[in-house]
Structure 1
Amino acid sequence: MHGGDIYSHNKKVIDFSSNINPLGVMPELKEYLIKCFDEVSVYPDIKYRRLKKNIADYLNVEPSQVVAGNGAVEIINNFILFFDRVVVFTPCFSEYVLRAKALNKEVRKFKYDSNFEIAIEELKNNIRPKDLIILGNPNNPNGKRIDREVLINLAVITQEKGAFLMLDEAFYEFCPYDYDSIELLKNFDDICIIRAATKFFALPGIRLGYAKVSANWAERYKEIELPWSINSFADAATEIIFKNKDYIKKSKEYINEERQYMLNILSKIKNIVAYKTDANFILIKLLKYDEDFIYNRLLEKGILIRKCSNIDGLDKSYIRIAIKSREYNDLILKELIDILGE
């Protein structure tokens, strides 16, 4: 269902199935969390004042506009509770639909076009009041972000229809954005913009998601969120991760360089189409063989990739790979060339 399942294999693998910052955890964070170890003996602040202040400073918003959770999925799950129907474009992150179905909500699916663009008019003609529209920005699994003017148009349509727009920006920091959606959409109330520490700060085990909403929605969210859903280490980590500007800058520069490097080489490999991406992963269409064949051949070499046939809207002719260190990137590129031909 998800990437990152390194535990189902009886050998060590290089994990290209999950999309974590290859620069890894900040060294100073490890040291700081060890110093904070005694915090596990007391409950975290139930209002998470320190955490929300640090997130607010990082996002350049007010603490009253911040909600947080045990990963981005918890925030997605909780917001679904407020709405009658969930609207998505496929292919998309599977949890949008799975969470909606688990909560007995109706799901309305639209399809991206062949270029992974949103059919604005179709959406406009079919959404209704109390719809929750969830869009990846950039979208997972293809990594394409929403163009600036399209996003503004989406916000206007959502407002006019009495619906609510949720942007899942878990991969935001990896992208070469020409806008900040939080600033761009600051005058719209019925919008939730979610980000996470998981991917960019290489902390999937800590589980910290956060979002910017209006102060009114933040108050409503308090009524349904679980108490103490964020652990002490995640709370403490916000004292470090958002303030290390050097790490943030180096990570963005590194991913941008490796993304261009990999896309350039992939474009020269026969029998595949590598889609342009703004994120730290690449969706590949297989014109020869299928996901099982490529998956198994790479696994023999100790390389784990993401099969995509369980993603709504894709089939067995797609795989997804992460962007990792140059050493590992060269390794998977060499193996793909050997399998598929230059």
Structure 2
Amino acid sequence: MEYRHGGELYKASKASSVAPECIIDFSSSVNPRSITGKTVVAIATAMSKLGAYPDPTQTNIKEALARVHSIGTKHIVAGNGSTELIYLIAQAFASNTGSHQAGSQKKALIVEPAFSEYRRALKVNGYSIENFNIENFNAGEAAGDFTLDTEALLERALEEKPDLLFLANPANPTGVLKKKSELLRLASAVEGTGTTLVVDEAFIDFVEGDVSILSEVTELKSTIVLRSMTKFFSIAGLRLGFIGAHPDTIEQIAAVQPPWSVNSLATAGGVAALADSAFITETLKWLKTERGIMTKELGEIEGLRVYPSSANFLMVETTAPGVTATGLQDRLLKEEGILIRNLSNFKGLEETFFRVAVRERAENSLLATALQALLNPAAL
């Protein structure tokens, strides 16, 4: 069975007859560490006010984001998860008559492999879509790190002049982190060319250090930074994300956004989560340790190749003859109640790639044991 996204527990349950609550979900790259009491209390308090409409101006969440990221509220628009914002970007620029291709079909370039919703959003808004294909990555047996060739991407962007250029940092599903300096150079290079660069930083909160370009690009008219709050703060059910960009771009996107997109619970939870510095520090410390242990455990299994990652997930390739990600996904789910993310529907990746989120240590070890049993039963 094909899964469009990670976290499709009910679909997986129906296919396997395993109850959703009994599935160990490695397919969804959401922080497994639960939100803290302060955030829970804030959400619970907001529930007593559900009879009132949410603030259509998004004042509270914008001010909280502005404080944390040291940018002005005029540079921010929040949304019902970053996925809504992807669609709004595509819609806003599809109707933009001020681009270099006014009156003609809009063009987009996607750095692949990538989140499938970029393509869906662009397709429903009538874009002609091209890929910066996997051949432009240092992939394969020799390199194996999926590092982006920024020079080749820039050359192609300047030649083709797409209206929108989508890339993610860290990349999903590879987990590769691009250098901040390279992204800023790319952002500067496309300024004024008619191309708008969209950098999806959905997983950047899981990376330590000064790696985001958010604060640097808000004065550039041709760069948009997408951010998700649901993954790091483990509030995927609330749906909350935001865009950082030039005020003119923010105004353009906000003009096509339906009112009340950010609900009251998401606002309350988001504001409280942003103020929880202890949760942020502890999560980063935890991830660094557990990702290292998980990488080592999976890397020791004959028949698997684990790719380095800067995010809260690992991309893994099966190297054993005849073994596919689809086969592993089906068997792990039905035999062990474990759900992994089959990556065969990602452009540029084959049937041998899958992704697993970093979860708590006992669950990660359970996954390693299950994979060892499937691939090398004699080794147990």
> Does the pair score TM above 0.5?
yes
Q: 1:217 to 1:27 in 2, by over 3 A?
A: same
1:51 aligns with 2:81: no
Match of 1:4 in 2: 7
Deviation sequence 1:177-221 (CA, Å, 0-9, x none) = 443312344553321111112100001110111121111211222
Contact 2:219 2:246 in 1 (8 A): no
Instruction: Tell me the number of residue pairs that the alignment of Structure 1 and Structure 2 aligns.
Output: 342
Verify: 1:20 aligned to 2:20, yes or no: no
CA apart distance, 1:305: 0.6
Query: 1:239-278 to 2 correspondence within 5 Å?
Result: 239-278=271-310
Equivalent pair of 2:201/2:212 in contact (CA under 8 Å): no
**2-structure distance, mates of 1:143, 1:170:** 11
1:301 aligns with 2:311: no
- Find 1:109's aligned residue among 126, 131, 135: 131
Would the aligned equivalents of 1:80 and 1:86 in 2 still touch at CA under 8 Å?
A: no
> In the superposition, relative to structure 1, how do residues 186 and 104 fare at CA in structure 2: closer, same or farther (>3 Å)?
closer
The aligned counterpart of 1:131 is: 163
How far apart are 1:328 and its partner, in Å?
Answer: 0.4
1:75 aligned residue (70, 74, 85): 85
Provide closer, same or farther for how the CA distance between residues 124 and 292 of structure 1 changes in structure 2, counting only shifts above 3 A.
closer
Counterpart for residue 326 of structure 2 = 292
State the alpha-carbon separation in 2 of the partners of residues 209 and 23 from structure 1: 19
* Structure 1 residue 2 displacement after superposition: 0.3
In 2, distance between residues paired with 1:172 and 1:292? 28
Distance apart, 1:253 and its partner CA: 0.7
Q: CA deviation at 1:245?
A: 0.2
Partner Cα separation in structure 2 for residue 222 and residue 149 of structure 1: 29
| 2:190 aligned partner | 158
SS in 2 for 1:145: coil
C-alpha deviations, 1:258-282, integer Å up to 9, x for none? 1111112222221111100000111
Listed one character per residue, the Cα deviations across residues 155-192 of structure 1 (whole Å, up to 9, x for unaligned) are 12221533111111111111134433123445533211
What residue number does 2:102 align with? none
Distance in 1 (CA, whole Å) between partners of 2:308 and 2:253 is 36
Q: How does 1:182-201 map to 2 (within 5 A)?
A: 182-201=214-233
Q: Is the 8 A contact 2:180 2:212 kept in 1?
A: no
> Secondary structure at 1:210's aligned position in 2?
strand
Kept in 1: contact 2:184–2:213 (CA 8 A):
no
Aligned equivalent of 1:91: 113
Specify the SS of the correspondent of 2:48. Answer: helix
SS at match of 1:256: helix
TM-score using structure 2 length: 0.86
Asked whether the equivalents of residues 176 and 278 of structure 1 are also in contact (C-alpha less than 8 Å), the reply is: no
CA contact (8 A) 2:225 2:245 kept: yes
Output the TM-score relative to the length of structure 1.
0.95
In 2: Cα distance, 1:122 partner to 1:265 partner: 35
Residue in 2 aligned with 1:318? 353
Mind listing any 5+ residue stretches in structure 2 that lack a counterpart? 95-105, 140-144
C-alpha distance in structure 2 between counterparts of 1:176 and 1:54, whole Å: 21
Give SS of 2:227's match: strand
Q: Which amino acid aligns with 1:6?
A: L
2:129 is paired with a residue whose SS is strand
Residue of structure 2 equivalent to 1:329: 364
Unpaired segments ≥5 residues, structure 1: none
Structure 1 position 144 matched with structure 2 position 176 = yes
Give the whole-Å Cα distance in 2 for the aligned partners of 1:33 and 1:70.
16
Q: CA deviation at 1:238?
A: 2.6
Identity rate, percent: 29
Give the deviation of 1:67 after TM superposition. 0.8
Moved more, 66-75 or 287-296: 287-296
Q: Deviations over 1:227-254 (max 9, x none)?
A: 1111110111133010000000001111
Residue-by-residue CA offset, 1:19-70 (whole Å, 9 max, x unaligned): 1111112222222222221321011111111111111112111111101111
Distance 1:121 1:36 in 2: 48
Structure 1 counterpart SS, 2:296: helix
**AA partner of residue 374 (structure 2):** I
Quote the Cα distance in structure 1 between the aligned partners of 2:193 and 2:233. 36
- Secondary structure, in 3 states, of the residue corresponding to 1:139? coil
**Cα offsets for 1:89-120 (capped at 9, x unmatched):** 11111111111111111111012411322233
Opposite residue 156 of structure 2, the aligned amino acid is N
